[in-house]
Amino acid sequence: MIYYIFKGQILTVFLSLAHLTSISFPSRITDFVGGQEGEYKIYELNKSKSLVFEPKRKAIDRNFIVFLQDSKYHFNINYNEALSNKDIELQIAKKCNSLILIKENKDYQLFECPKSLLFVNKTKSTVQVNDLYIQNRSYLSKGPPIYFKGKLIYYRRSLR
């Protein structure tokens, strides 16, 4: 699965005991940090452009940071058998004008572009979407799960 990522947004990656999870980066990894011994084992592969996670237990909920030469990525690493990832390829997200409305309710509209999502806040107050606080509208990374008011509203092109 391709995750189109905007800089500064935190991504959630779900692990499973049933399979390994790999994350491939656009350039070479210089360093990474996060987790505790016994939660998962990490393998660095593909000439230091990929990390593979092998979970060792179910109760995982950690921050994880990966450093590249010119950027860094922040992750929430969680255990979830039903939503688990296998292969993630990270690419740079882009704002666009060819929007398609994919979900609407009294609180928000969610639009999809080829390489991003657009969240439009319909309430009169600031709302939290993942790690962002949105007053009016904001582009979001496409691919990672999207949470609004603590509920999963978008993941892997499926609407919840």
| Same structural domain, 130 and 113 | yes
| Same structural domain, 74 and 115 | no
Q: Phi first, then psi: what are they for 151, rounded to 5°?
A: -110, 140
Q: What's 129's DSSP letter? A: E
CATH of the domain at 32: 2.60.40
Report the pLDDT value the prediction gives residue 62, as an integer from 0 to 100.
92
The answer to whether residues 114 and 97 touch, using CB atoms and an 8 Å cutoff, is: no
Number of structural domains (the chain) is 2
Q: What's 9's DSSP letter? A: P
Report the pLDDT value the prediction gives residue 150, as an integer from 0 to 100.
87
Report the pLDDT value the prediction gives residue 159, as an integer from 0 to 100.
52
The answer to whether residues 109 and 39 touch, using CB atoms and an 8 Å cutoff, is: no
Report the pLDDT value the prediction gives residue 25, as an integer from 0 to 100.
96
For 45, other C-beta atoms within 10 Å of its C-beta total 12
Which residue in this structure is represented by tokens 């997200």?
93
Report the pLDDT value the prediction gives residue 72, as an integer from 0 to 100.
94
| Same structural domain, 59 and 76 | yes
Q: Whole-angstrom Cα distance, residue 107 to residue 117? A: 16
Report the pLDDT value the prediction gives residue 15, as an integer from 0 to 100.
95
| Same structural domain, 121 and 77 | no
Q: Write out the DSSP string of 61-124.
A: EEEEEEEESS-EEEEEEEE-TTT--SEEEEEE----S--EEEEE-SSEEEEE-SS-EEEEE-SS
| Same structural domain, 129 and 50 | no
| Same structural domain, 87 and 121 | no
> What is this structure's pTM?
0.87
pLDDT digit of tens for each residue in the chain (160 aa)? 899 999 889 999 999 999 999 999 999 999 999 988 889 999 999 999 999 999 999 989 999 999 999 999 999 999 999 889 899 999 999 999 899 999 999 999 999 999 999 999 999 999 999 989 999 999 999 999 999 988 999 987 655 4
Residue 131 structural domain: 100-159
| Same structural domain, 72 and 10 | yes
Q: Whole-angstrom Cα distance, residue 112 to residue 148? A: 16
